[in-house]
Amino acid sequence: MNLENTKNQEVEEFSSETKRQYQYIENLRKWHDQKKEELGRPLTACVQCFGCQMNARDAEKITGILEKIGYQMVETEEADFVIYNTCTVRENANLKVYGRLGYLSKLKKKNPDMMIALCGCMMQEQTVVDKIKKSYRYVDIIFGTHNIFKLAELMQARLDSDGMIIDIWKDTTEIVEDLPSERKYRFKAGVNIMFGCNNFCSYCIVPYVRGRERSRNPEDIIKEIKELVADGVVEIMLLGQNVNSYGKNLESPMTFAELLQEIVKIDGLERVRFMTSHPKDLSDDLIEVMKNSKKICNHLHLPVQSGSSRILKIMNRHYTKEQYLDLVDRIKTAIPGISLTTDIIVGFPGETEEDFEETLDVVRKVRYDSAYTFIYSKRTGTPAANMEEQIDDAVVKERFNRLLKEVQTIASGLTKKHEGTVQSVLVEQVNEQDASLMTGRLSNSLLVHFKGEEELIGKIVDVRLNECKGFYYIGELV
């Protein structure tokens, strides 16, 4: 919701929890006004996120609350309030946060009134919270993934006490709607359609830190999208860990395909994307809806994780290599030219050279437009962490490099195919290197740079893709 459009009369219609939170925001606003007087400037806040699109969307909600209180948002961590929205999907995401916390301690020595909050997926792990309590005493507030909506209440609690405030919920069934939120872009936005995950892939920590799957009511989703469109948004990305299982736990169940059909009817909305699709739940109905709607982007992210049916079984993915390839065939037949991308894990426990060859085989058969490749990372608490036969680092590295080479060779060939064509492009920003150029995104998610005016930002225009430069194009307006 756009903050500025939040009228009091709308607050009247909100749930009692939402109203309670607005009250905390209001109190903090008064506190902030006083601080502003004393300092002769507004307080500054910096929100950094370390994770996926859902993590980024949560950061927008945090920003929304802070701006409503009066904070001025800044990029630098030399701010009055620094919030790290953490990720724990792989170990290196985790390590990054500890590294940065050391730096924050120095900043806090310079500015003792500075507040530091940690939230997000990492904080849902007890061992992490224990470590912070013990070794990072200067952190002010710790909260998790289920209670972001309480940020103002937790800040108030911190101001009223002189110790660290910790509030972590193990899980929740609650979805608190209508809180403020601030968007990074004015013309495109992420919209949560569900939270949590029930799949328990054996390597993955997400179900433990994000809780059980909960779908938002379709009416709330449609209302949010209509408000976004009224506010200038033309492209939305529907977000969920497994969007294909949307709606199963609603009072009146609804499928993702049915939801999409309602969403594409919204006037003024031009483009719809979604992520992530689990192959096991991708229905023929969804393929049909994608095929028939011009608004749905010509791109599907379909994580395969491994090409070996044996490994897929141990990963608890619920499909075989053959079923995945058959699904890809059906998608490509229904929607010729669709861009497919994927996620692949290398070095899952017990992965043999033969298993890895199966993954390479899938990559060659599907021909992905791009693939996110990950080295398996052991996550404590997941079934895979206890599996024997963890793979030797050198072997994993060697496989990873072979995979990357294969993926890149195929992807650059595919990108080149569009050279010379005219495509519709959403203009996103002024080019970072050359201010005479604009940068826009094709329906298939690739970027193109072309001569144009800043006024075009947020508009969909036709661009001829003159030259392919590997993974992007140089083009011209037509």
Residue ranges binding ligand SAH (CB under 6 A): 89-90, 203-204, 206, 241-242, 276, 278, 303, 305, 343, 345, 374, 376-377, 379
Binding region for [4Fe-4S] cluster: 52, 87, 121, 197, 201, 204
Minimum CB–partner distance for residue 444 and ligand SAH (Å): 19
Binding partner at 443 among ligand SAH, ligand F3S, ligand SF4, none, C-beta below 5 to 8 Å by kind: none
Nearest residue to 141 via CA among 189, 214, 84: 84
Please report, as residue ranges, which positions from 210 to 229 form the binding site for ligand F3S (by CB under 6 A).
Answer: 210
Binding partner at 176 among ligand SAH, ligand SF4, ligand F3S, none, C-beta below 5 to 8 Å by kind: none
Q: Which long-range contacts (CB under 8 A, 24 or more apart) does 392-396 make?
A: 395/347, 396/346, 396/347
Other Cβ atoms closer than 10 A to 164 = 17
Q: Which is nearer to ligand SF4, 319 or 450 (CB)?
A: 319
User: Which of 117, 148, 206, 362 is in the footprint of ligand F3S by CB under 6 A?
Assistant: 206
143 bridge partner residues: 167
Any residues with CB less than 8 A from the CB of 108 and at least 6 apart, and which?
114, 116, 138
DSSP E strands, 96-178: 115-120, 141-143, 165-167
Binding region: 52, 87, 121, 197, 201, 204
Any residues with CB less than 8 A from the CB of 260 and at least 6 apart, and which?
238, 272, 274, 286, 289, 290, 293, 296
Minimum CB–partner distance for residue 315 and ligand SAH (Å): 10
Phi, psi of 46 (to 5 degrees): -130, 120
36: region left, alpha or beta (phi > 0 left; psi from -120 to 50 alpha): alpha
Report the alpha-carbon distance of residue 430 to residue 416 in Å, rounded.
24
Sign of dihedral through CA atoms 209, 211, 217, 220? negative
Binding partner at 200 among ligand SF4, ligand F3S, ligand SAH, none, C-beta below 5 to 8 Å by kind: ligand SF4
Nearest residue to 227 via CA among 456, 457, 4: 4
User: Which of 87, 128, 289, 407 is in the footprint of ligand F3S by CB under 6 A?
Assistant: 87
Q: Which residues of 237-275 are buried (b: 16+ CB within 10 A; e: fewer)?
A: bbbbbbbbbbbeeeeeebbbbbbbbebbebeebbbbbbb
Q: Which is nearer to ligand F3S, 209 or 396 (CB)?
A: 209
CB-based burial label for 443 (10 Å; 0-12, 13-18, 19+):
buried
Any residues with CB less than 8 A from the CB of 78 and at least 6 apart, and which?
107, 111
Binding partner at 55 among ligand SF4, ligand SAH, ligand F3S, none, C-beta below 5 to 8 Å by kind: ligand F3S
Q: Which is nearer to ligand F3S, 342 or 444 (CB)?
A: 342
User: Which of 25, 52, 263, 426 is in the footprint of ligand F3S by CB under 6 A?
Assistant: 52
User: Which of 65, 89, 179, 340 is in the footprint of ligand F3S by CB under 6 A?
Assistant: 89
User: Which of 118, 121, 176, 275 is in the footprint of ligand F3S by CB under 6 A?
Assistant: 121
User: Which of 55, 94, 341, 359 is in the footprint of ligand F3S by CB under 6 A?
Assistant: 55
Stretch that binds ligand F3S, among 73-81, 202-210, 257-265, 355-363 (CB under 6 A): 202-210
Q: DSSP assignment, residue 305?
A: B
Stretch that binds ligand F3S, among 38-46, 82-90, 222-230, 288-296 (CB under 6 A): 82-90
Minimum CB–partner distance for residue 160 and ligand SF4 (Å): 37
Give the footprint of ligand F3S on this chain (CB under 6 A). 51-52, 54-55, 87-89, 121, 206, 209-210
